[in-house]
């Protein structure tokens, strides 16, 4: 068992100074896909949050975002064009200035690209399902569009290299496009990209191949490549996949490609079968609770040389110690929004100085973006943060995820 202050070297040679990771977290502050100065200031203030800081998810294709957007100027960041490279270079430089690694999370948000619907543009997914929880239409991706997206993941990787990032994380989790292809609930195709479990793996495998080919061609030898996955997709009676299936996917990916790490996206670092849904809203049938071991342990036999990152609810010394006993690296999300020096304080035995509640003082000190402020100062915040009620007065009236307005257009439902 390692301590959280020990360095770790990945299989391609990159070394991180400690075992803390800042996981990807949307800052909701891009403008037309570009990182703004506020975004750069935020990442600058988080450069000590871990040995490795993973950016929020950036969309790789023009039709792959933005997602979770309620207003222009409060958008997800994009990496689908070379024009974004100068601003992204500033993001990478801000993250790296304390000597830690900068990883870009790359994604296609598929059916979650809500801002396209707001603008009257088509939203795409593996299958054109009419989903009650989405107020807009979904269009089925053509074979040609799917191949373009696979190639876009490679092109985005090249841009991350050009912008000075130390690695990329492929976003295969949290219901975005890659997971939509893996999910039997979301993917009803019967071509090369769906129809059986093996065929539902074809899209993620092709994306990883596209990224790895680009890395081989253009990146420094020690460039880091990770893959993030939700260990299961179970919503009541809607079953996307079980952990038995997701471990098969990870086994297939890590046998074919030398990934540096696998990142398990979970609400709790010790989540077990039946309780891995991010928002904790859906209770799985007891038949899916078929092991008492944490996913961190259940995934280990399938990593084939990749390191393992776990995440979820780590905000104290005790939790950090029990998490690092389970995996190689531990990611600290919301606690880093509150106190980006959490890891530093733990490593210097200053845990009494750790701040665990959001306040106006912390918002200012940590350069929390107005997009994050608007989200966390609104009434329904999605994944809530302790102390969010302390910043209600900072709300500038532009909503948060719960206040998204869908105008009537050809892409929204009646
Ligand atoms: C504001 C916010 C934005 C998030 N954005 C992303 C994202 O861009 N990509 C992603 O994979 N996960 C995202 N997540 C999930 C986090 O990476 C993490 O898995 C989750 O917050 C649980 O960790 P925690 O309990 O330490 O916060 C986000 C979470 C929060 C709170």
Comparing CA positions, the residue from 101, 87, 130, 116 lying closest to residue 21 is 101
Q: At what angle do helices 202-218 and 143-162 cross, to 10 degrees?
A: 30
Closest residue to atom 21 of ligand 1, CA basis: 333
- Name the burial class of residue 151, with classes exposed (0-12), middle (13-18) and buried (19+) by CB atoms within 10 angstroms of its CB: middle
The pLDDT value given to residue 1: 64
Q: Is 25 in the pocket of ligand 1 (CB under 6 A)?
A: yes
Task: Please give the pLDDT value at position 337.
Answer: 98
402: which DSSP letter?
G
Q: Which residue owns the Cα nearest ligand 1 atom 3?
A: 25
The answer as to whether 411 is a domain residue is: no
Does 380 score more than 80 pLDDT? no
Is 401 within a domain? Answer: no
Q: What is the pLDDT of residue 409?
A: 92
- Residue 278 is predicted with a pLDDT of 57
Decide: 314 in ligand 1 pocket, CB within 6 A: yes
Residue 261 CA to ligand 1 center (angstroms) comes to 18
* Domain assignment present for 384: no
Residue 46 lies in a domain: yes
Does 126 contact ligand 1 (Cβ within 6 A)?
A: no
Strand pairing category for 52-59 and 101-107: parallel
Q: Are 114 and 124 in contact (CB under 8 A)?
A: no
Query: Is residue 128 pLDDT above 60, yes or no?
Result: yes
CATH label of the domain that carries residue 323: 3.20.20.70
Residues with Cβ < 8 Å from 271, sequence gap 6 or more? 231, 294, 295, 312
Q: Which domain holds residue 80?
A: 8-356
Local confidence band at 219 (pLDDT 50, 70, 90 cut-offs): very high
Average pLDDT, the chain: 95
Q: How far is CA 252 from the centre of its chain?
A: 21
Q: Residue 369 domain-assigned?
A: no
Which is higher by pLDDT, 206 or 401? 206
- Report d(CA 59, CA 123) in Å as an integer: 13
Round to the nearest angstrom and report the end-to-end CA distance of the chain: 56
Tell me how many domains the chain contains.
Answer: 1
Q: How far apart are CA 104 and CA 330, in angstroms?
A: 17
Is 297 inside any structural domain? yes
Taking the mean position of all CA atoms in its chain, how far away is CA 352?
Answer: 30
Tell me if 379 is assigned to some domain: no
Q: At what angle do helices 243-256 and 202-218 cross, to 10 degrees?
A: 30
Among residues 79, 59, 9, 12, the alpha carbon closest in space to that of 257 is found at: 12
Bridge partners of 107, per DSSP, are 59
- Beta pairing, strands 101-107 & 124-125: unpaired
In ligand 1, which atom is closest to the CA atom of 382? 31
pLDDT tops 60 at residue 387: yes
Q: Is position 370 within any domain?
A: no
How big is the chain, counted in residues? 414
Look at residue 284 and tell me whether its pLDDT is greater than 90. Answer: no
Choosing from 333, 356, 363, 380 the residue with most ligand 1 atoms within 8 A of its CB, the one to mutate for a pocket test is: 333
Residue 89: Cβ within 10 Å count: 16
User: Are residues 345 and 351 in contact, defined by beta-carbon separation less than 8 angstroms?
Assistant: yes
pLDDT at 411: 94
Task: For residue range 271-282, list pLDDT tens digits in order.
Answer: 999 886 655 556
Residue of minimum CA distance from atom 4 in ligand 1: 25
């Amino acid at each position: 068992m390692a301590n959280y202050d020990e360095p770790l070297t990945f299989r391609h040679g990159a070394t991180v100074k400690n075992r803390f990771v800042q996981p990807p977290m949307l800052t909701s502050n891009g403008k037309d896909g570009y990182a703004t100065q506020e975004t750069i200031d935020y990442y600058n203030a988080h450069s000590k949050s871990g040995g490795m800081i993973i950016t929020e998810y950036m969309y790789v294709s023009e039709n792959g975002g933005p997602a979770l957007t309620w207003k222009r100027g409060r958008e997800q960041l994009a990496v689908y064009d070379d024009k974004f490279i100068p601003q992204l270079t500033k993001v990478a430089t801000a993250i790296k200035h304390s000597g830690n690694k900068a990883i870009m999370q790359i994604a296609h948000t598929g059916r979650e690209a809500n801002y396209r619907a707001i603008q009257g543009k088509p939203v795409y997914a593996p299958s054109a399902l009419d989903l009650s929880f989405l107020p807009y239409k979904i269009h089925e991706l053509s074979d040609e569009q799917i191949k373009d997206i696979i190639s876009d993941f490679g092109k985005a990787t090249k841009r991350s290299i050009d912008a000075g990032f130390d690695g990329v994380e492929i976003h295969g989790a949290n219901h975005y496009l890659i997971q939509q292809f893996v999910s039997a609930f979301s993917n009803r195709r019967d071509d090369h990209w769906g129809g059986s479990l093996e065929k539902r793996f074809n899209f993620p495998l092709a994306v990883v191949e596209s990224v790895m080919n680009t890395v081989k061609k253009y990146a420094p030898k020690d460039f880091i490549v990770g893959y993030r996955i939700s260990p299961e997709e179970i919503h009541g009676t809607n079953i996307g996949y079980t952990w038995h299936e997701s471990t098969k996917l990870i086994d297939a990916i890590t046998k074919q490609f030398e990934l540096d790490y696998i990142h398990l996206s979970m609400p709790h670092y010790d989540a077990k079968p039946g309780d891995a849904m991010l928002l904790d809203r859906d209770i799985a049938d007891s038949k899916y609770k078929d092991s008492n071991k944490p996913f961190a342990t259940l995934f280990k036999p399938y990593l084939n040389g990749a390191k393992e990152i776990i995440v979820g609810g780590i905000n104290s010394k005790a939790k950090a110690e029990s998490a690092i006993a389970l995996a190689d690296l531990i990611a600290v999300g919301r606690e880093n929004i509150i106190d980006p020096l959490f890891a530093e304080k733990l490593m210097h035995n200053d845990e009494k100085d750790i701040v665990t509640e959001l306040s106006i003082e912390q918002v200012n000190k940590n350069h929390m973006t107005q997009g994050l402020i608007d989200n966390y100062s609104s009434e329904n915040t999605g994944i809530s943060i302790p102390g969010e009620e302390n910043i209600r007065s900072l709300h500038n009236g532009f909503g948060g995820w719960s206040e998204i307005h869908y105008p009537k257009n050809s892409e929204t439902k009646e």
